[in-house]
Structure 1
């Protein structure tokens, strides 16, 4: 995770960002600290990446890399405003003992674009990921990689439209994907929890699950009820200030596998 020390919204690179809307940095920090503290209270370890001045979106640590079995695929950001984040993330991994670190040739935005299930690496296409990034990731990780076409700019990263609950059990919002990708999702994940448009609009799919607890936006009460029916324990959090930049629970969380 990366503390939102420099968080603000001074540019717009996704439909959620509006520089005309004021940001309360103290509230953003308090909301982020609540998320960090929830992880700690659940017994998880939280490592911190030092924020860099002039990089307000660095709080969205999930975008900096994808880590599977200790192998680190770095990010190459699509927008100039975020490109300096990539080397800061890779420096952190190298400084913390990761030796298999790959600097990508093709544009990908870490776990924004890549979602890891037990059997698959899912790759979101259409807005912020080069079509060549999927093959690069598959070659590096040696894991079957499935490309999914995103068609709604409000769900510009895969982690805004799909989340892993446990193993190969996922939840997703079908209308965020092309018809062909919807068919692929139905085939791969027949038992998936299907989210509604109302769920997606609340950023409810930008969630993190440890296989039991599912941390998600607190406004997503309907989806939380359905998660309880499946045996999960949803934990609602208010990250509304960070949502002003198009991020929530998952965006703030890079998972170290």
Structure 2
């Protein structure tokens, strides 16, 4: 299949109603180190995380989106990061298989909840961390990351399960260990991304597919500005990503800033907390 770029300036930004699955951070804490952002010696404030999460969920509802909830389980402090649990397309869910044992028990819990919500869940053969590394670009294709958390072989498996072409991209900076920390899909024709997080061949692929991509700087990448959630017009992103918000507005998007700084201590942001459910 030949994939061609579409120039976004010819299109109008239009929001579409989305459905999300989220998990309250009732047991959120940084208790171990599985990415460069996690430092157990730095205190976390679970109550503050809960307040920030409530604002995030209220923001989604205010923007007209449906929000479903999965109940958190004790001893799974990262379960709040719902995006890592699966990737969904057309009522099918390709489940996660976590790289680290600390998160392994999240996978069956999310698969059970997705089944309750009416999705056909396909358990994976290979290690993958859901929408952390699989970014669905409308009905066109899926951008898929590898290098730190997701086995490259999972890309072909996801393609077979979900029925969309999968384009493999290599992550090279351990700070941006999931693709959703380095790329934000804004609509079917537009992304924002941080080039240094990706290998040179991967940057070339993105330049071909998205010649008008928004390029984030170091400062915005470091506050997880690209870990954003877009409905095609509104882009929910960390309040600290100042330049990226201005770039989004200049390109016709509406930035919606939220403070999720407590989750950054575990290497997460708005997108990490949000699994999109595509029926």
Counterpart in 1 of 2:71? 50
Counterpart in 2 of 1:60? 81
Counterpart in 2 of 1:181? 202
Paired with 1:96 and 1:215, the residues of 2 have a C-alpha distance of 24
Counterpart in 2 of 1:94? 115
Structure 2, unaligned runs of 5 or more: 1-21
Query: What SS class does the counterpart of residue 181 from structure 1 fall into?
Result: helix
Q: Which of 204, 229, 244 is matched with 2:265 structurally? A: 244
Paired with 1:117 and 1:107, the residues of 2 have a C-alpha distance of 22
Of residues 126-135 and 195-204 in structure 1, the stretch that sits farther from structure 2 once superposed is: 195-204
TM-score normalised according to structure 2 size: 0.91
Paired with 1:76 and 1:9, the residues of 2 have a C-alpha distance of 21
Paired with 2:152 and 2:242, the residues of 1 have a C-alpha distance of 35
Task: State the 1:161 CA deviation.
Answer: 0.1
Q: Which of 90, 109, 127 is matched with 2:129 structurally? A: 109
Paired with 1:68 and 1:97, the residues of 2 have a C-alpha distance of 12
Query: What SS class does the counterpart of residue 154 from structure 1 fall into?
Result: helix
Paired with 1:225 and 1:96, the residues of 2 have a C-alpha distance of 37
Paired with 2:213 and 2:100, the residues of 1 have a C-alpha distance of 32
Task: State the 1:96 CA deviation.
Answer: 1.8
Paired with 1:153 and 1:95, the residues of 2 have a C-alpha distance of 35
Matches within 5 A, 1:1-257: 1-98=22-119, 100-118=120-138, 119-257=140-278
Paired with 2:64 and 2:150, the residues of 1 have a C-alpha distance of 33
TM-score normalised according to structure 1 size: 0.98
Higher relative contact order (CA 8 A, sep 6+): 2
4+ runs of 1 displaced by more than 2 Å? none
Task: State the 1:28 CA deviation.
Answer: 0.4
Paired with 2:151 and 2:271, the residues of 1 have a C-alpha distance of 21
Query: What SS class does the counterpart of residue 236 from structure 2 fall into?
Result: strand
Structure 1, unaligned runs of 5 or more: none
Task: State the 1:168 CA deviation.
Answer: 2.4
Paired with 2:62 and 2:209, the residues of 1 have a C-alpha distance of 34
